[in-house]
Amino acid sequence: MSDRTNQKKPKSGIGKILLIILSVVVVLTAVVYITGVIYFRNHFFYRTNVGSTDVSFKNVDDTISTLNDAVNVYKIKITAPDTTYEVKGKDISLKLDSSTKQVIEDDIASQNVFIWPITLFQPQNKDIRVDYSESELKEKLSDLLTLDKDPVNATIAIDGNNYKVVKEKYGADTAAVEKEIDEAINKQEYSLTLNTANFTEPQITTTSDEITNATKTIDSYLKGIVSYTIGSSKEVTEKGSILNLLDISDTYEVTLNDDKLLAYVDELAAKFNTYGKVRKFTTQAGDEIEIGGGDYGYILDKDAEFAQLKQDLVGGKTVERQPVWSQTANGTLDNDIGDRYVELDYTNQVMYYILNGQQVFSTDIVSGNNTVGQGSPDGIFRIKYRVKDTHLKGKNLDGTDYDSPVNYFIVFAYDVGFHDAPWQPWFGGNRYLYAGSHGCINLSNSAAQYTYENIPDDLPVVAYYRTPTTLVGTANRNSNAFSYRG
């Protein structure tokens, strides 16, 4: 008996220990449970989120503070089909709704505190209440929220001296897109991929073959730079000028527009042509006059230049050449007269020959008698041709015929020219006012010989009066004299 009793006593001690431990566990569990019940009457459960912010174990004030901190640093990444946007809370005046505190208090009060242990394994999600400026959001996302319902294909825009590819735009149900964004902001989500069902994709994008091929064609045209050489001056076609000649069709075909090219050639003619223009001219006396008229100067052959320019641009190469002229001059655009010319000062009755900027010859003359309507033509002309040992024929004022043999005749304006005049006893002074010619420039025989032998064809002849003059007659009309008034 005593042995059995001794064997049972240890078992009785272990049972008591287990009982004590169990009791302690029960008591502690009860204490923890009751403590949790009391605690969670004023605090959120573990694993509770308001929006995307963890507010576990926080009371009302701490929750408000935490949410304010989250709102202050909040930003959301919005991914659309073709691009990504970022909106920060401060960009849209984001703040907690004025009812947030009351909502938090209600949320905490509505918790079933008696099941708090279960919530350790069940996340709790609460909605956040925020306010933001819708107008600021629309401004921040203007590219997105102003999309049209229908998509817009990529295009090529020409602006001044450049062109650019204008990015395509998706079509969008902007009301649905804005609703998605609003919901994400109100949930304080940090990223949002927009529903592609709310977008319509354009057919032509910046990477489409149509755009790529069109830009290659434009770039090819832009390589067709034409540098015009005119005397010592140069004029280069500008990039913008070439771009403005191009048409881009709805199917992205790039072509030269003939009408625009014709208009451009007209502009070149207005820039290059010096024929008939009034020029400033420094005389041998040193003063400056203005003289226009005559038939001298550059004239662009517009039809031929159109054809050549089109060929140059289509060829896509840099070309340096002369404009295609129907008539040329000896100088530059700024000074088409150059430094080799004949100067006729009708008022002072003097002729000068200027070679390489230096006066190499001068002589007195007798020009046309303007007192009887036979004044010599003024303007800028060119020496056209010369003959030797000929007869000058015409009619005198009284209707009688004249036939004057001359040794030298050098024509510069219609049928007006330089020639020897053996019937003139002297030259210069005011003789032209009472014994002037029918319009030609009378010279001594030696001066006429010098002119015939030394002054070449095509040389400019600058003829002018120093006082206002009215010229009449067929020769002045046909030679486009500066002072011709009909």
Span 64-101, pLDDT tens digits: 899 899 889 999 999 999 999 999 999 999 999 888 88
Mean pLDDT along residues 166-184:
95
Q: Is the pTM of this model over 0.95?
A: no
Mean pLDDT along residues 447-468:
97
Looking at residue 300, what DSSP letter applies? E
pLDDT of residue 334 exceeding 90 = no
Distance from C-alpha of 45 to C-alpha of 48, rounded to nearest angstrom = 6
Amino acid at the residue 384: K
Q: In terms of Cα–Cα distance, which of 194, 203, 292, 189 is closest to 251?
A: 203
CB of 45 within 8 A of CB of 119? yes
The neighbouring-strand residues paired with 299 are 327
DSSP strand pairing (48-50 vs 124-126): parallel
- Residue 40: the pLDDT is 87
Question: Could you tell me what percent of the chain has a pLDDT over 90?
Answer: 73
* Beta carbons within 8 Å of 96's beta carbon, 6+ residues apart: 64, 67, 68, 71, 128, 129, 130, 131
Residue with tokens 């804005």: 178
